[in-house]
Chains A and B, each alone.
Chain A
Amino acid sequence: MSEPNPSGEAADADLMERMATGNREAFASLFRRYHGLVYRFSVQMSGSRDVAEDVTQEVFIALAENRARYRPERGSLKAYLYGIARHLVVQRERRSWSRREVHLDTVQGDDAHIVATSFDPIGDLSRAQAMLALRRAILRLPRHYREVIVLCELNGLSYDEAAQAIGCRVGTIRSRLNRARTLLIERCRSCLCPPRDTVRGQVESPASRGARILSPESGR
């Protein structure tokens, strides 16, 4: 049996062993420990909470049914779960034709929440606009670039862990990440300008349309 974590929680390997014997509580513990990151990753990859919900459930059911596939010597359980989630998201993407429209609606709703909680409305609206544009750009990246951005930049995985989750070499992660960042800069060059570059002006329906900032020169 593995030693428990300093926080007193059982180690992943221990929980996996107990789960393999049919221990329901061990499975529930693993779910509580990792469902958040699996769900967040799925939302970030797909842009859809509905898809993420289904994917998260399927990930844990797959873990329960195919627990013998997990090899601790190959990597952490976290990376393994990310790998399953990534696979399921890709499967759904291949089936879906209207993926992008659903994603953008969901993303816009998230940013509206950020706009409402600000002491500096203009600066935060500008930042919200930039984040919205960046989210859209991330969702439009090719999958192999998107997944490294989501794993390494948005979820803080190390290159090793990302390589385990994706099933490639660390060097591949590095090069993909570099290329993905370059693509994002190319596509979001205008929104990457700091807030001071934007001319302050009239704000049109900030709550509903993602806080579009209008410049006086545009005449609108």
Chain B
Amino acid sequence: MTDSEHKRRLTELLNEIAGADLQIETPGTMEERVLRRWDAGATARAARIRWKPRPRGWLISGAGALAAAILLLVVVNRSSREPITVPVPVAHSDVRAQPTAAKAPTAAAPFPAVAPTPIAIGRNEPEKGQRRMDTLGEIVSFMPLSPDAHQGLVGSFQVARVLLPREVLADLGVVLDANRVGEPIQADVVFGEDGLARAIRLAQQDTGRSQ
């Protein structure tokens, strides 16, 4: 058989199938069932003011993603503008005005001792954060560990919570409690992009007592 004969035969058979399928009949009870469902839904339809399209899934997802993105932007923007303003337990305000040169770190004092001038930790606007800290007076945040701490924190930085020997506080200008010498103390240390410690903040102790 040639292709055209095959096509002709296929058409014949399809026509025969179509003719045979005309005899397919719907079950007799279907109309009754469908009308019963119509009746059941009539009350609900009458109460409906007008047809309302269902919200599409992708529209909801898109709106949710957009809202989340906006929220994230707001949070990030806010956190980049506001300095970290956790009060430091002790800071001498008179020392703040007279910065001294950094001392070389020792085994007992791993951080170079500098004047504990409070600085604001901000990602993009250190000047603004500094200005705000100035207005806050005694409320201080991180204390710089080197005179150029501001420059070291211009880019990204990391904050790590560490346990330090309590003697380190003396190098920061904090008065030590003689009864508690030897106890470790929790502190948050800011590391610059170069991995060097730039600033420190004394964390609130678990015991509820300050250093």
Q: What residues of chain A have their CB less than 8 Å away from a CB belonging to chain B? A: 22, 24, 27-28, 31-32, 35-36, 39-40, 43-44, 53, 56-57, 60-61, 64-68, 110, 114, 127, 130-131, 134-135, 149, 153-156, 181, 184-185, 188-189, 192-194
The 3 A-B residue pairs with the shortest CB-CB distance in the complex, in nearest-first order: A68-B51, A192-B9, A153-B14
Interchain CB contact (< 8 A) of B30 among A53, A66, A68, A156: A53
CB of B12, distance to nearest CB on chain A (Å)? 9
Q: Which residues of B contact A181 (CB under 8 A)?
A: 7, 10
- A24 and B34 form a contact (CB under 8 A): no
- B33 and A110 form a contact (CB under 8 A): no
Q: Which residues of B contact A127 (CB under 8 A)?
A: 13, 16
Task: Give Cα distance in the complex from A155 to B38, angstroms.
Answer: 28
Q: Which of B19-27, B129-137, B146-154, B189-197 binds A?
A: B19-27
Can you identify 13 A-B contacts, CB atoms within 8 angstroms?
Answer: A28-B35, A36-B24, A36-B25, A39-B24, A43-B21, A43-B24, A64-B41, A134-B10, A135-B17, A154-B17, A155-B18, A184-B10, A193-B9
Task: Give Cα distance in the complex from A128 to B13, angstroms.
Answer: 9
Task: Give Cα distance in the complex from A59 to B97, angstroms.
Answer: 83
Given contacts A154-B14, A185-B6, contact A28 B31 (CB under 8 A): yes
Q: Which residues of A contact B42 (CB under 8 A)?
A: 22, 24
Interface of B is mostly: helix
Sorting the interface of chain B by its residue count into under 10, 10 to 19, 20 to 34 or 35 or more gives 20 to 34
Q: Which residues of A contact B46 (CB under 8 A)?
A: 22
CB of A116, distance to nearest CB on chain B (Å)? 13
- B14 and A149 form a contact (CB under 8 A): yes
Task: Give Cα distance in the complex from A110 to B21, angstroms.
Answer: 9
Name 11 extra pairs, CB < 8 A, besides A40-B22, A110-B20. A31-B31, A36-B25, A57-B30, A61-B38, A64-B38, A127-B16, A135-B17, A153-B14, A154-B18, A154-B21, A192-B13
Given contacts A22-B45, A192-B1, contact A156 B18 (CB under 8 A): yes
Q: Which residues of A contact B17 (CB under 8 A)?
A: 131, 134-135, 154
Q: Which residues of A contact B35 (CB under 8 A)?
A: 24, 27-28, 31
- B6 and A114 form a contact (CB under 8 A): no
